[in-house]
Structure 1
Amino acid sequence: MNALPVFEAAARHSSFAKAGAELNVSHSVISQHIRNLEHWLGTELFVRRGNRVELSDDGRALLPQIASGLQILTDACETVLRKTQAGTVVVSAEPAFASLWLRKRITEFCELFPRVEIDLRPAWTPAQIGEGHADMIIHFETRIPKRGVERDNLFPIDGYPAATPDIRDALPLAGSAIDWQRAVLVHDNGKETWHKWYAAHEPASEGWRKGRIHSDLSLAIDAAVDGEGVILADDILCHREISSGQLVRLDDRSVRCIWYQIAIPRGTSKSSASALFRDWLVDQTQNLRD
């Protein structure tokens, strides 16, 4: 039984090393499990090709049934977990992320796991993590502690210029294009993100120095919707405003602004409510990292 999830992971990755990293065991342990399974079945399941492995014909025949069986077991355990998993998770989160994205996901999570309570505490400066403080931090990658935690990427923010339709129609032009030297900008918590965009796409212009600064992204979005100027929007945190047409994209050019990361104390039990919530969030954002 121990060898079956090892086989499934190795087959999915076509790599013993990657399977070991996923299962947190060494390459040699993966190899031993596969050898034991092959010996028990009396057939080779993998064809070794240097550092890569490929499924043999018998391996390909076995994989769908093993994967299906493991999923059945996982679903059965998750059904019980939803009834029995309990606890309170104190989450310190970047304010805009907390209000624009995380709050709705907490509602979804708590519907699935009704005995787990999420205590959301927005904070520009993350709380100390550990016993007696926050159980989890979700913030910009630059503000996550570098020691004593397990860090996971959630998703990146890729910003592009956006504004109301009225602002778009009134923007100054240089020929047929927007004159980014004279455009009125909306900043959130400093001018760094607009500076990145200008450095990447309008390096000769210092238009990024202009515009009003708001204390966080939520206020900046509200200001842009109210017609105060052009904001660096994105498809995740600004989804509602973009999809409704309150803000429209002005330029195809974008810039990677920041990654959001999630962290829990190193050594947190995998069966804890914190780990359960962390794993659920990481799974929910898989498509945003691809």
Structure 2
Amino acid sequence: MLPPLKSLVAFEACARHQSITKAAQELHVTQAAISQHIKALEQYLGFALFNRENRRLKLSIRGQQYYPTVHQSLRAISHQTKALTHRNEPQQLTVKVNTSFCYYWLLPQLQDFCQRYPFIQVKLHTEDWPQLQANQTKVDIEIVNGQPSKELHSELLCKEYWIAVCSPEFKAQHNEELTQCALEQLPGIYVRGYTEGWHEWLSSNTLSSSPPLQQYEVDSTMMGLELAAQGAGIMLCRSLNALPLLQNKRIVVFNDSTISSTDCHYLQYERNHAPPKVTLFTGWLQQRFLALQPEKALIDALQR
């Protein structure tokens, strides 16, 4: 038998907000009703889901284990319900997206979304730095490369790292310099716009070398990675967009040292206005990233 659905909904809202009051406001019921649902669920399961400390609600260890499954299941039901009830209403979804992310990650996955939700027409606007451009076109969702917006609802897609790459041929040709991390005489490929770079990577990994020559400077990671794959030089890049090229061995990591990036890719949309087409797309993309596991894939690529 399954636990009572109302109790699961109450538990999910309480766990997400860490507040009975906020959960009651969201579900339009009284705090007493929420408390009764939580108590009923705890009695059904035979263990406590929350620890109450100084009037604060915190998930217990078992509650932490239970929450992801409940949250994802209820979200999946919600998304599919919206998909079925809106299937006869063609809608256009406008997505503003970073050029490199669109090319390496979104386009290869987009056909799956359109097959699942054929009533949604996807319109893409690509820019190198979406959040820095004037938003002349009204969009439903932005996939930004940088920091989350304070004005919009933001969802992190995955954690990212800075890695040092080049082509397999370039690595073989300059193996001695790369092994010794003597980079200052090697041609470097630089991407405009990032606040982090070689100095942070070298310093964080206690390497005494100077950065490579600024032989090439480009607008996007996509152009930089293509130069690197062609053997033009070495490049410090973020792991997410480099991963597809690492997997097909067009580029390789010439030094295993990495640093965490302070900037990442985020999904952003209006806080108080998320129509079904937006929640369907964001839920789908988050699920795709859970399935693709880019962080694990990066570890696998670095260990080859």
* Both structures adopt the same fold (TM-score exceeding 0.5): yes
Partner residue in 1 for 2:164: 161
Matches within 5 A, 1:1-290: 1-7=5-11, 17=18, 25=26, 32-36=33-37, 38=39, 46-47=47-48, 49-51=51-53, 52=58, 54=60, 77=81, 80=84, 83-84=87-88, 86-126=90-130, 133-142=138-147, 145-147=149-151, 149-171=152-174, 173=176, 177-189=180-192, 192-201=196-205, 204-208=208-212, 210-233=214-237, 235-257=239-261, 258-269=263-274, 271-286=275-290, 287-288=293-294
Measured in 2, the distance between the counterparts of 1:124 and 1:53 equals 40
What amino acid sits opposite 1:210 in the alignment? Answer: Q
Measured in 2, the distance between the counterparts of 1:251 and 1:209 equals 17
Q: Is the 8 Å Cα contact of residues 189 and 224 (structure 2) preserved in structure 1?
A: yes
What amino acid sits opposite 1:136 in the alignment? Answer: I
Describe the SS at the equivalent of 1:182: coil
What amino acid sits opposite 2:126 in the alignment? Answer: P
Q: Is the 8 Å Cα contact of residues 16 and 31 (structure 1) preserved in structure 2?
A: no
Q: Is the 8 Å Cα contact of residues 158 and 254 (structure 1) preserved in structure 2?
A: yes
Measured in 2, the distance between the counterparts of 1:68 and 1:157 equals 23
Which segment drifts farther, 118-127 or 176-185?
176-185
Measured in 2, the distance between the counterparts of 1:104 and 1:160 equals 23
Shift of 1:268: 1.2
What amino acid sits opposite 1:156 in the alignment? Answer: K
Which segment drifts farther, 219-228 or 235-244?
235-244
Describe the SS at the equivalent of 2:159: strand
Identity %: 14
Tell me: CA distance 1:86–1:18, structure 2 relative to 1, closer, same or farther (3 Å). Answer: farther
Shift of 1:252: 0.9
Shift of 1:224: 0.7
Q: Which runs of 5+ in 2 are unaligned?
A: 297-304
Shift of 1:69: 8.9
Q: Is the 8 Å Cα contact of residues 136 and 263 (structure 1) preserved in structure 2?
A: yes
Q: Is the 8 Å Cα contact of residues 83 and 117 (structure 2) preserved in structure 1?
A: no
Tell me: CA distance 1:154–1:82, structure 2 relative to 1, closer, same or farther (3 Å). Answer: farther
Q: Is the 8 Å Cα contact of residues 83 and 280 (structure 2) preserved in structure 1?
A: no
Describe the SS at the equivalent of 1:246: coil
What amino acid sits opposite 1:167 in the alignment? Answer: F
Q: Is the 8 Å Cα contact of residues 159 and 254 (structure 1) preserved in structure 2?
A: yes
Tell me: CA distance 1:183–1:79, structure 2 relative to 1, closer, same or farther (3 Å). Answer: same
What amino acid sits opposite 1:285 in the alignment? Answer: F
Measured in 2, the distance between the counterparts of 1:218 and 1:105 equals 17
Shift of 1:263: 0.9
Measured in 1, the distance between the counterparts of 2:176 and 2:52 equals 58
Measured in 1, the distance between the counterparts of 2:179 and 2:25 equals 56
Which segment drifts farther, 66-75 or 160-169?
66-75
Tell me: CA distance 1:89–1:128, structure 2 relative to 1, closer, same or farther (3 Å). Answer: farther
Q: Which runs of 5+ in 1 are unaligned?
A: none
Shift of 1:29: 6.2
